[in-house]
Structure 1
Amino acid sequence: MSRARILVVDDEPFNLDIVAEYLDEMDFDLVMVESGDAAWEALGDREREFDLVLLDRMMPGMDGIMLLRKIKADERLSSIPVIMQTAATSPEQVREGLAAGAFYYLTKPFEGEALQTIIRSALDDMRVRRELRASLNDHAKAMNCMTEGAFSIRTLDEARNLASFVALLGPQPETLAMGLCELLVNGVEHGNLGIDFAEKSRLREEDRWEDEVAHRLSLAENRNKSVRLKVWGDDSRWVFEIRDDGPGFDWRRFLDFDPERAFAPNGRGIALSRQLSFTSLTYLPPGNQVVVTVPKSDKPA
C-alpha cells in the first residue's frame, strides 16, 4: 500500500516542524507549504495527488477559509478531506468552516495524539470513499433491470458492498454510495452493537474501532441481528428504507452540523449525508428506521 500523501499548510515554520515531529513515526509523505497560494499551486499538480489537507485557518493573503472554498469548488479536489487547525473556536467561526467544507477540526495548540487520531479518522473516511468509488463500476450493468429489492447485512464490509451496489440506481452514484454506507454502518455499529458517539470517539482515539465492532459482532447476543435495506421506485424517485434491530436513538441531535462536535473524530456522518447525498432524509421513531430518497434523474424530484 502506498504512503498517504498529506499537504500541510501553515504560515509559521515552527508549526510545520511540530506537525512533522508529531507525524514522524506514521510513515506519511508530508508536503509542507507556508501559504495558501503555495498550497493551491501544489494541489494543481496533477502528477501529485493528495489524500488529505491539514490546513491552518488564519494566514496572510489567501487564508484557510478562502483556500478551503477553492478546494471544495474544484471537481477534481472536492473529495479530499480537509482538517482545519485553528485557534478560532467560537460557534460562529466553526459554523463558517463547516459551511465551507471543513468537516474535521483541530484546536490549536494540540497534542500529537489528537493530531494522529483525527488524521486516522479522515484517512479512514477517504479510504472507504475510494473503495466505494472503485466498486461502483463492477455492479453497473446489473442495475439496469432492477425495480425493487430487499437486502440484509451484518458487517461493515457488507454495508460498504451493498451501498456501492444499490447506489448505481441514483443519478450520482458516488455521492449516494457514501450516504447509504454511512446509514448502513450506523445501523451496524450504533443500532445493533450499541456503540454510541462517546464510545466511538474513544475507540477512534485508541485506534480500536473496527476491532471492537468485530468483537461485538461475534457475541451471542448479536449474532442474529441484522440491518435491512428495502429499495423501490416510482416515476420520479428512488426510496431507500434502512432498519436495524437496535432500540433507536435521538437522531435530531445529528441532523445538522454541531460546532460542539466539530473537534471529535466522528459524529458528522448523518449531517454530511443529509446535505450531500439525498433529496430527503427522515428518521422514524424510535430512531432505528430511516427513509431517504433521491431523484431518478438529475432533475429534482
Structure 2
Amino acid sequence: MTKTLVLLVDDEELNLEILVEYFDGEEPFVLQTADSGEAAWQLLQNAENDFKLILLDRMMPGLDGIGLLRRMKGDQRLSSIPVIMQTAANSPEQIREGLEAGAYYYLTKPYRRDSLLAIVHAALSDAEARSSLSRQLHQHINSLQFLDKAEFSIRTVDEAAQLASFIAQACPNPDAAVMGISELLINGVEHGNLGLAYAEKSRLKQEDRWHEEIARRAALPENATKEVRLSYHREANAITLRIRDQGNGFPWQNYLEIDPERAFDPNGRGIALARMLSFSSIAYEGCGNIAVATICCGQGNNGEHQT
C-alpha cells in the first residue's frame, strides 16, 4: 500500500500529541510534525518530503498558518498540496481570509476524531480527483483548439471526468479549465440527475459511502436514461459552456461564493472554486439545472490579461 505522508503543524505540543493519537492505526498515513511555521517551511523545502496533506494550525507565533499557506501558494511545487486549517478562530472574516489564502478545508478546535478523518479523506479524495483530471488532460490532442461548436452527453461521474479533460483542451488554459468543467458535470450527475442533496452528500462522505450511493442510484430504472448535456461554443473573445441536467434544480445562489458557514463541511465548495479558478463567470438558468460558464479567450481564469 502506498504511504501517505502528512505534515502536522501546531505550536502546542499537546495538540500535536492528540493529532498523532487520532491517526493511530489509520493506514496508510505516515506523520511528520512541526512546532512552528518556520519549522514546517523547512520541511516543505526538502524535496524528498512528498507531503500529500497538511494539517495547519492558524494561530502560531512568528510565521502563522496564513503566512505559511501564502508562501506555499507562491511555490509551484507546493501550491497543490491540500491544507486543512485547524483553528479556534471561526468568525466569518477569519474563515474568509483563510479561504482566500487557499485553505479550502477547516476544522474548529476542539474537534472529534471522526470529524478530522472525514475532512482528511475528503481533502485527499479531492486532490486525487484533480490529479487524475490533470493526467487525463494531457492525453488529448492539441487540435481541439480549433473546435468551434460541439454537443456532448454523459451519464456517469467517470464519463464526466473524461469529458472534462477532453473539452479543457479546447480552452485557453486547460489546467485551470478542467477542474471547473468537471465540477459542473459531476454536479449535474450527482445533484441533478441522481437527486443527491447537499446534506446527504455531507453525511455520506462522513460515512465514506458516497461512491457506493452514487452507484446505487445510477442503477435505478428511473435514472437509466438520464443524461447531462454539454454544449461548447467558441466566439472571437469567449468560450461558452452550457451544461444541462434533468434534475429539479437547486438554490444555486447560495453556492457561487464559499460560505464560511460551510467551510467545515467535507463538500460544498466546488462551484465557488470553479468560478474563482476556472471561469470568467458562471450563471444559472431555469430552476438551476442549467449552468452557463464563460471563459474569456486571451485572459486568465480570473479575468486578468495574461502576458
Confirm or deny a common fold (TM above 0.5): yes
How far is the alpha carbon of 1:144 from its aligned partner? 4.1
User: Cα deviations across residues 214-265 of structure 1 (Å, max 9, x unaligned)?
Assistant: 0000001111111111101011221111000001111000111111101111
How far is the alpha carbon of 1:32 from its aligned partner? 1.0
How far is the alpha carbon of 1:173 from its aligned partner? 1.0
CA RMSD for the aligned pairs? 1.4
Question: How far apart in 1 are the matches of 2:235 and 2:275?
Answer: 21
- Kindly indicate which of the two structures has a greater share of residues assigned to helix: 1
Question: How far apart in 2 are the matches of 1:134 and 1:30?
Answer: 27
How far is the alpha carbon of 1:287 from its aligned partner? 0.1
Match of 2:61 in 1: 60
Question: How far apart in 2 are the matches of 1:29 and 1:238?
Answer: 44
1:25 equivalent to 2:25? Answer yes
How far is the alpha carbon of 1:142 from its aligned partner? 4.7
Query: SS at 2:140's partner residue?
Result: helix
Question: How far apart in 2 are the matches of 1:44 and 1:171?
Answer: 31
The residue identity in structure 1 corresponding to 2:12 is E
User: Cα deviations across residues 94-145 of structure 1 (Å, max 9, x unaligned)?
Assistant: 1111121111000111111000000000000000010011111110335244
Stretch of structure 1 that moved more, 48-57 or 1-10: 1-10
Match of 1:286 in 2: 287
Matches within 5 A, 1:1-301: 2-27=2-27, 28-298=29-299
Runs of 4+ with deviation above 6 angstroms: none
Question: How far apart in 1 are the matches of 2:173 and 2:78?
Answer: 17
User: Cα deviations across residues 257-284 of structure 1 (Å, max 9, x unaligned)?
Assistant: 1111011111111111111110111111
Question: How far apart in 2 are the matches of 1:246 and 1:135?
Answer: 28
Query: SS at 1:51's partner residue?
Result: strand
User: Cα deviations across residues 69-101 of structure 1 (Å, max 9, x unaligned)?
Assistant: 111222222221110001111112111111211
Does structure 1 conserve the Cα–Cα contact (< 8 Å) formed by 2:8 and 2:56? yes
Does structure 1 conserve the Cα–Cα contact (< 8 Å) formed by 2:145 and 2:171? no
Does structure 2 conserve the Cα–Cα contact (< 8 Å) formed by 1:170 and 1:297? no
Does structure 1 conserve the Cα–Cα contact (< 8 Å) formed by 2:134 and 2:165? yes
The residue identity in structure 2 corresponding to 1:233 is R
Does structure 2 conserve the Cα–Cα contact (< 8 Å) formed by 1:227 and 1:245? yes
Does structure 1 conserve the Cα–Cα contact (< 8 Å) formed by 2:147 and 2:234? no
Question: How far apart in 1 are the matches of 2:133 and 2:69?
Answer: 24
Query: SS at 1:25's partner residue?
Result: coil
Does structure 1 conserve the Cα–Cα contact (< 8 Å) formed by 2:285 and 2:291? yes
Question: 5+ unaligned residues in a row in structure 2: which ranges?
Answer: none
Question: How far apart in 1 are the matches of 2:192 and 2:163?
Answer: 18
Does structure 2 conserve the Cα–Cα contact (< 8 Å) formed by 1:167 and 1:180? yes
TM-score normalised by L of structure 2: 0.95
How far is the alpha carbon of 1:298 from its aligned partner? 3.9
How many pairs does the alignment contain?
Answer: 301
Question: How far apart in 1 are the matches of 2:119 and 2:185?
Answer: 22
Stretch of structure 1 that moved more, 43-52 or 126-135: 43-52
Identity percentage of aligned residues:
53
The residue identity in structure 2 corresponding to 1:138 is Q
Does structure 2 conserve the Cα–Cα contact (< 8 Å) formed by 1:6 and 1:51? yes
Question: How far apart in 1 are the matches of 2:144 and 2:37?
Answer: 43
How far is the alpha carbon of 1:25 from its aligned partner? 2.1
TM-score normalised by L of structure 1: 0.96
The residue identity in structure 2 corresponding to 1:10 is D
Stretch of structure 1 that moved more, 123-132 or 20-29: 20-29
Question: How far apart in 2 are the matches of 1:115 and 1:214?
Answer: 26
